[in-house]
Amino acid sequence: MAAPSSAADPRPRARWIGIATALMTALAGGALWCLIALYARHDLIALSLPIAAAVAWALRSHGYAGRWSGAVVAVACVALASAYSLYLQAAAQVASMLGLPLRAALAQMDPHMAIDMAWANLDVVGMVTIVVAAIVAATGVLWSLGASRR
């Protein structure tokens, strides 16, 4: 059995689990965003902001606080969550127009069609909101909470 690592331990911690957690947080947030947006019948781009906060929290809790690599991962995760949600919303729109279940629409439609629909549904305010969410996520990871206590 391996000995638990301490703060003074020179062995690097496995940080890949933090990236995996942030990616899963982003995908779950994107799916939840899509579900709420479909229920509300609006795109609800502002939901990218709480997703950004959740991604930043996940990365900070896994040792990425104050690291530029964590900020890059946070921005990528917000972009992934936004793209995933908008893609699912476009697929739901196609499913609604064709009278198909969402699963059938996802299996039958060309991905480029959903991407084009997502871009068409995204306006300037939505793009700015997503960029602000990415900045919030990066800032949340880089934010220093003051001098460390020992």
pLDDT digits (tens, 9 = 90+) for 12-54: 566 788 899 999 999 999 999 999 999 998 889 999 999 999 9
pLDDT band at 4 (very low <50, low <70, confident <90, very high): low
pLDDT band at 139 (very low <50, low <70, confident <90, very high): very high
User: Whose CA is closest to 57, among 139, 130, 129?
Assistant: 139
How far apart CA 139 and CA 36 sit, in angstroms, is 26
pTM more than 0.75:
yes
- Residues whose CB falls within 8 Å of the CB of residue 50, separated by 6 or more in sequence, listed in order: 29
Tell me what the pLDDT averaged over the chain comes to: 87
